[in-house]
Structure 1
């Protein structure tokens, strides 16, 4: 009965595999975004520190 019902979000194996792949793809995209955002924040922090130090001299 589970395998014969076809629809998005259903319990059949192929749909579960599709949903898992979709979730993994989204997770990978989120991880990449976090890494890029951290790099930008670190660069901005470094620039701010340099600007502050130049004002203090």
Structure 2
């Protein structure tokens, strides 16, 4: 879980960014599954965002 600072001004941006990352991961999963189904082998996009400490560490 990321370390968040209590800065209300950026809360909306952080929430939106996390939602977009989650959506992006779902789209990558779906695309990879489609490739695997069509081509018969494991597919990997190689692109996955990583969470790091937001601040304070």
Q: Structure 2: 5+ residue runs without aligned partners?
A: 41-57
**Structure 1 residue 13, shift from structure 2 partner:** 1.9
**CA RMSD, 1 decimal:** 1.3
**Which structure has more helix as a fraction of its residues?**
1
Relative contact order: is structure 1 or structure 2 higher (C-alpha 8 Å, sep ≥ 6)?
2
Structure 1 residue ranges, 4+ long, deviating more than 6 angstroms after superposition: none
Equivalent-residue separation in structure 2 for 1:10 and 1:17 (angstroms): 13
| Higher-Rg member (1/2) | 1
Q: 1:32 and 2:17 equivalent?
A: no
**Structure 1 residue 44, shift from structure 2 partner:** 1.2
Q: Structure 1: 5+ residue runs without aligned partners?
A: 1-8, 46-57
